Structure 1
Amino acid sequence: MMIDRYSIALFLVLSFLVGVLDASAGDSDLRYRACVAQCEKTGCVGERCFPHCKFPSDRVAIEGPWYMQEPLYLKWKQWDCHSDCRYNCMIDREKEREALGDGPVKYHGKWPFRRVFGIQEPASVAFSALNLAMHFHGWLSFFILLYYNLPLKQDKKAYYEFASLWHIYGLLSMNSWFWSAVFHSRDVDLTEKLDYSSAVALLGYSLILAILRSFNVRDEAARVMVAAPFLAFVTTHILYLNFYTLDYGWNMKVCKVMGVAHEG
C-alpha cells in the first residue's frame, strides 16, 4: 500500500515536470507580445495601471522618497512590472480568444491561471499541499506502527531492517511536495530550481531504495556500494541544473530513465 502511494506521487511529480516542457503558443502570439511591450512602457493594460511599474526589475526606485518605494509585500512576492504585465495581458488575451470561440493556450509553459490571494496557481498549490499532507500522514502512521505498535530491539531500534531507508524516503517525499507547492505559488528562479532539485532527489533515492529492497540488500557496506554511484550521479545532475544550466530536455530524459528503472 505504501509503495503504491509513493509510486502515484512519483508519477505526479513527473507530470508536473512534463507540463513545463510543452510548447507555448500564447507567448508567441503577436497581440500578446505587443500588449506586454506596451504595458512595460506605460505601466498600464487597458484601464488597469500598476503603480510599481515605476520601479525597475532590480527593485530600485527610479525617483521619489523612501515612502514611495515598492511595498514590502510586493518585494516578498517578487511581483514586478514585467510579471504583472505578462499576467494581465494573458488574462485579456484569453478573454479575446474565448470571445472568438478559441480554446486556451499555454503562456511560457503554463496554462492560463488566475491569482488568488497572491498565489500564482492555486489549484496546483492545493494538490501539492494535499499530497504533502497525505505523505505526512503515511510517514507518521509508519513511524507509530514501528515504534509504538510493534516490539523493538533492546537498543530501541525497529526489527524491520529497511525502516531507516523508508524514513528518509518519506522525508524526501514531503520535501518534494513542499517545494512543489511553493513553486506553484510563485514561479521564480529559486523556487523552480528547488522544485526540480527536490523531485530529482526523490526519484534518485526511490531508485536506490527499489534496488536495495528488490535484492534484499541488508549489509550496510553493500548498501553503500550500491548507492554510491547513484548518489554521485544524482548529486552531479542537481549541481548541473542549479549552477550550469536548467536544461529541461536533459532533465526530463534523466527523470524518465530513473522513473522507468524504478517501476521496472
Structure 2
Amino acid sequence: MIVNKTVLWFIFFILVFVGTCSCSWGDNSPEFRSCTEACTRSNCSHPSDLEKWSSAQSFPEKFIGWSCSDDCVYGCMWSSMQILFKRYGRVPQYFGRWPFIRILGLQEPASVVFSLFNFVSHLYMLIWFLRTVPSKAPMYSVWILYSLVSMNAWIWSSVFHSRDTPLTEMLDYFCAFSTVLCSLLTFCLRSLQSRPQYMPRLVIICSCLCFYVSHVVSMATVRFDYGYNMKVNITVGGINCACWLVWFFLNRWQGKHIKQGAAAVLAVSVSVLLELLEFPPILWSIDSHALWHLVTAPLPIFWYRFAAGDCLHLLDNLSKPSFKKNI
C-alpha cells in the first residue's frame, strides 16, 4: 500500500500542476483573431448572410446547435493552425484543447463514441447483474444505484464531447464526480453491512449527499474553479481506490470475485496516467482523453462480476444458520 499511496500522490501533484498550465496559445494568435473577426463580420452580421449560412448547414450540426460564430471559430482554427504549425513546428491548442475534426457535427467524435462504449458496457452488465443476483441479496439496491449514477455520467460525457458549452461542461464534471463519490459511498455501506444499526449508514449517506451538493453549488454559483474541482476528484478518487484495495486484501479469501474487483480498481488507477499524456489527436480525433475513455470501457465487466459475487456471498451467509457457543 505504500507504493500505491506514493503513486496516488504523484498523480495528484502532477495533475494539479498540469491543470494550472495555460496552453491555449492558438486562440491568442493574431492569425486566429483576425480570421474570426473577418469571418463573423462577413458571414454572421446580416440576416441575409445568416440565412445563406443556415441553408448550407448540415442537419447534424443544426441538431447539435452549432452557430454561425461557432463555425467561424472552427474554420479559423484550422486555417490558423496550418500557419502556426509551419511557423513553429508544433500544433497549437485552442481554448485549452487540441484541434478536433467534426464528424456528423460532433466536436470530439472519438470521445463521444468511447463514452457511449462505457455507457453500453454499464448497461449490459447491469442487465446481467439483475439476472444473476436476487433482489433480496444485501447491497442489491446500492449496486443498482451505483450503476444508474455511472450510466448517467457517461451520457453527459458523450453530450459534453459532442458540443462543449458551459452547461454541458458543468453537467459532465458534476456527473463524473458523482460516480467517484458514489463508489466511495458504496464502499462505506459495504463495510457497514455486518452491522444491523441503520444510523451509521444514514449518517454516511447524508454526509456524502451534503458534500456533493455543497461542491456542485459552490462550483456552479460561486466560481467554476477547475483546479479545485480536480483536487477534490483526485483526493476522493484516491481515497476510494485505496479503501477498496485494502478491503480486497483483507477479504481475499472470499473467492475469485475479489480478484476481479481488485483488477478493476487497479486498472482504473493506472488508466489515469493516460491523462498525463499530451499529443495532438491521432487522425484529429483520438487524444489521450479519448484513449482513457476507451481503456475504461471494458472495466465494468470485472467490476460488476465482483459486485454480483459479493452480493451472492452475503446472501449465502444469510442463509447459513448461526450457532452461539455455550459458555
Name the TM-score class by shorter chain: 0.7 to 0.9
1:82 corresponds in structure 2 to 69
- 1:82-129 Cα deviation digits (max 9, x unpaired): 211111111112223444572322211211101111111101101101
Unmatched 5+ stretches in structure 2: 1-10, 243-327
CA distance in 2, matches of 1:169, 1:258: 16
Task: Tell me the distance in 2 between the aligned counterparts of 1:21 and 1:138.
Answer: 38
Distance 1:171 1:210 in 2: 16
**Residue 262 of structure 1 pairs with residue 249 of structure 2:** no
Counterpart in the other structure of 1:58: none
Runs of 5+ unmatched residues, structure 1: 1-10, 44-52, 55-61, 148-156
Equivalent positions of 1:134-173 (< 5 A) are 134-147=121-134, 157-159=135-137, 161-173=138-150
1:153 match: none
Q: Which has the higher helix share?
A: 2
Q: Write the distance in 1 (CA, Å) between the matches of 2:190 and 2:165.
A: 37
CA contact (8 A) 1:24 1:110 kept: yes
Indicate conservation of the 8 Å contact 2:20/2:227, yes or no: no
Structure 1 80/217 Cα, relative in aligned 2: closer, same or farther at 3 Å? Answer: farther
Identify if the C-alpha distance between structure 1 residues 119 and 221 changes in structure 2 by more than 3 Å, giving closer, same or farther: same
Q: Which structure 2 residues correspond to residues 94-105 of structure 1 after superposition, within 5 A?
A: 94-100=81-87, 102-105=89-92
Partner of 1:119: helix, strand, or coil?
coil
- How much is the aligned-residue C-alpha RMSD, in angstroms? 2.8
Does the Cα contact within 8 Å between 1:21 and 1:248 map onto a contact in 2?
A: no
Instruction: Tell me if the contact between 2:157 and 2:172 (Cα under 8 Å) persists in the aligned partners.
Output: yes
The farther-off stretch of 218-227 and 203-212 is: 218-227
Number of aligned residue pairs: 222
What per-residue deviation string (whole Å, max 9, x for no partner) do you get for residues 218-259 of structure 1? 543321112211210111111222233322111111111111
1:38 paired to 2:11 = no
Given that residues 111 and 161 in structure 2 are in contact (C-alpha distance below 8 angstroms), is that contact kept between their aligned partners in structure 1? yes
Give the letter aligned to residue 201 of structure 1. S
Using CA pairs below 8 Å that are at least 6 residues apart, which structure has the higher relative contact order? 2
Q: CA deviation at 1:181?
A: 0.3
SS at the partner of 2:107? coil
| Alignment CA distance shift 1:112-1:19 (3 Å) | farther
**Aligned with 1:172: secondary structure?**
helix
> What is the distance in 2 between the residues matched to 1:134 and 1:35?
43
